[in-house]
Amino acid sequence: MQGYILGKKNQITLISAILIALGFFGRFGLDNMFIFNWSLIIASILGIAPIAIQAYQALKVKVVSIDVLVTIAVIGALLIQNYEESAIVTFLFLFGAYLEQRTLNKTRSAIKELTEIAPESALIQMENGDFEEVDVDDVDEDDILLVKTGAKVPVDGTVLTGEGHLNEASITGESVPVSKTKDSEVFAGTILENGTLQIRADRVGEDTTFGRIIELVEEAQDSKSEAERFIDRFSKYYTPAVLILGAIVWLFTQNVELAITILVLGCPGALVIGVPVSNVSGIGNGARNGVLLKGSEVITDFSKVDTIVFDKTGTLTVGNPEVAEKEFYENNTELILRYLASVERESEHPLAKAVLEDIGETTFSTVEETEVVKGEGVVAKVDGHRVVVGNVALMERKNILLNKKARKDIERFEQNGNSLVLTAVDGELKALMGIRDQIRPDVKQDLQRLKKLGVKSLVVLSGDNQGTVDLVARELALTEAHGHMLPEGKSAYIEEMQAKGQIIAFVGDGVNDSPSLTLADIGIAMGSGTDVAIETSDVVLMNSDFSRLPHALGLTKATARNMKQNITIAVGVVLVLLASLLFSEWMNMSIGMLVHEASILVVIFNAMRLLRYRLRGSKYHKNIKTQKNTDAANTNQAA
């Protein structure tokens, strides 16, 4: 029965609201006190049921929770026939609990999402040399497996024969597929975009890198599930104090009505609604500005963050490799680009895709006698001309002269973190392109805003090479930069920093980021990232708009301050009411109720200020100022 009632708390809250509205309509609309009293009595009895059960459960484990105080106060209000107060207090308490509950506990489905991504079968070599499909759980170490184009790698292993490009985004988070040849290491859960590989199984099942990702998420989620709500921690001291005060008054005065009045006045109506309404206002502001905040604990913890750790790809950078720099050594660039596009459209390499996207619409020539030089590029005949497209090593192999200017350009492009694509026609270098993942626009200004908001350390962790990571760190003035990091390395770094007392927020977008997102004090996911990253996070930046991050931090700090203000108002009003009741003759139940209701309105209006919050200097703040100026100008013009 207890479980059934607690499971219907939301329905009870709705029914209580309807009954309270009906009661006040009966009194003021129909002048019928019978409807007024019985509507509020029924609302009080229905509302107190789940609260009393929670109070009983708390007392069983020797905890004097706020549910205990609310239960006693409501019963007392009923005994002295103050049905209005008893009904309103129960409704406010249940409604406040509902507001918090609906924004919490949204990460459990992440385990299911990860499990669905995990490979389920594998092609294993039998004794006769043929490959047969088996369940991935039947694969043992040292088995020989076949991976075809489009298939998931089922285990961590080593390439024995074959070559191809693997999409390792699920492990490293990098958007550019990685070339794999003999003796290369491969990871379970990655996808072979082209080619065919035979691999030797080195780690299987839960021992694979992907298996450890799932395990890390499970452990991190369990460690977070023990968090207590802020208001319960506060009531640990507040609730017993009010109960003791009521008991002392009754012992000394033998005045039951006075003691019950103290409990009624001491019942924290504004306190009950103050924190949830601040949270809802903050969450509402965030939602309107593309920031999803998952509950009050997130707001409180995020407001205290002093270190923010970023994944690089898709977070600080756009996540799509693009042509960043170009140099031409031929005036007829249109012809050179046509030859280049004709050769590159024959390739599935990610750099080729970036080149074609940069060239855009063009006419293509017939490509003949194509020769693919593994790891270096392509040589082909186009319209009777010998065209070489590839890296510096291929140019040197094919005896393409690189003059002094070209070598300086190459050095400059490499220092800027580019992958190089050189194009030569009939033995002469004609074009040089540098391709890299672009840093998000205005991200440097956003990082500076984070520092102004009190963030002491900005750190980037990436599976990319250290040189590229260092380049990003220098350009963005980050505190630390660490490359060549797999998911377990990122999680270990976060745990190490937490052990030093730092409060960590982690920003990422991939499945590989999910352990770090969950393990960090605050996990922040880019909205266009994977579902599992979004679900394991505490904060989501919609549309992957990085500029929303400073707004999110500023908003949580403002919301945390607002919560403290509301708590101060609520407790201050209660103290004034109790002091007035004990040390003056003018305080009575009616005045106390009026002040109670006024204090509830005050904390609600105070919280509503958060709906208008904008971070000064942000593009949202500027847009609003621009709109106001435009409106004012239009008004003056009309006048």
Question: What is the full DSSP assignment across 131-160?
Answer: EEEEEGGG--TT-EEEE-TTPBP-SEEEEE
Amino acid making up residue 204: V
pLDDT of 447: 93
Side chain identity at 229, as an amino acid letter?
R
Lowest mean pLDDT among 28-37, 102-111, 442-451: 102-111
CB 92 within 8 A of CB 272: yes
Region 391-395: mean pLDDT is: 89
Name the pLDDT band for 431 (thresholds 50, 70, 90). very high
Supply the pLDDT for residue 526: 79
115 versus 49: which is more confidently predicted?
Answer: 49
303-317, 507-521, 589-603: the lowest-pLDDT one: 589-603
Q: Are 227 and 175 in contact (CB under 8 A)?
A: no
pLDDT of residue 510: 61
* Average pLDDT, rounded, for the chain: 79
Residue 309 has pLDDT above 90, yes or no: yes
Q: In angstroms, rounded to a whole number, what is the distance separating the alpha carbons of residues 420 and 298? A: 44
pTM of the predicted protein model? 0.58
Give the separation between CA 395 and CA 387, rounded to whole angstroms. Answer: 11
> Is 325 or 511 the better-scoring residue by pLDDT?
325
Indicate whether 427 pLDDT > 70. Answer: yes
Q: Which of 79-93, 144-158, 305-319, 500-514 has the highest mean pLDDT?
A: 144-158
- Does residue 243 register a pLDDT over 90? no
Q: What's the confidence (pLDDT) of residue 94?
A: 80
Which range among 91-95, 351-355, 378-382, 564-568 shows the weakest confidence by mean pLDDT?
91-95
pLDDT at 536: 66
Marked catalytic residue, from 311, 446, 509, 538: 311
Residue 634 to residue 639: CA distance in whole angstroms: 9
pLDDT at 395 over 90: yes
Q: Indicate whether 108 pLDDT > 70.
A: no
Q: Which DSSP state fits 229? A: P
> Residue 331 above 70 pLDDT?
yes
In order of 188, 368, 494, the CA distances from 491 in angstroms are 19, 50, 5
Residue 206 confidence (pLDDT) above 50: yes
Reading the block at residue 266, the tokens are 């001491």
Q: Determine the pLDDT at residue 224.
A: 38
Mean pLDDT along residues 400-423: 87
Question: Among 56-65, 357-366, 404-413, 513-522, which is the least confidently predicted range?
Answer: 56-65
Give 469-496 pLDDT, tens digit per residue.
Answer: 888 888 899 999 988 787 788 889 999 9
The C-alpha angle with vertex 577 and arms to 570 and 54, in degrees rounded to 5, equals 55
For strand 457-461 and strand 307-311, is the pairing parallel, antiparallel, or unpaired?
Answer: parallel
Residue 150 has pLDDT above 70, yes or no: yes
* 470 classed as catalytic: no
Q: Report which of residues 36 and 627 the model is more confident about.
A: 36
Average pLDDT of the segment spanning 397-406: 91
H or E element that contains 258: helix 256-266
Orientation angle between helical segments 269-288 and 230-253, nearest 10 degrees: 160
Match 């918090």 to its residue by tokens: 100
Q: Which residues pair with 194 in a beta bridge?
A: 165
Query: How far apart, in Å, are the Cα atoms of 53 and each of 50, 78, 201?
Result: 5, 18, 55
One-letter amino acid for residue 199 of the chain: I
Q: 105 by DSSP, 3-state: which?
A: coil
The pLDDT of residue 636 is 45
626 pLDDT more than 70 = no
The lowest-confidence range among 53-67, 146-160, 333-347, 416-430 is 53-67
Predicted confidence at residue 535, as pLDDT, reads 65
pLDDT digits (tens, 9 = 90+) for 116-135: 667 888 999 998 889 999 99
pLDDT at 212 over 70: no
Rounded average pLDDT over 292-304: 80
Can you list the pairs that 71-78 forms with residues at least 24 positions away whose Cβ atoms lie under 8 Å?
A: 72/243, 72/246, 72/263, 73/263, 73/264, 73/266, 73/267, 74/44, 74/47, 74/48, 74/267, 75/48, 76/259, 76/260, 76/263, 76/264, 77/44, 77/260, 77/264, 78/41, 78/44
Report pLDDT for 97.
Answer: 65
Residue 20 has pLDDT above 50, yes or no: yes
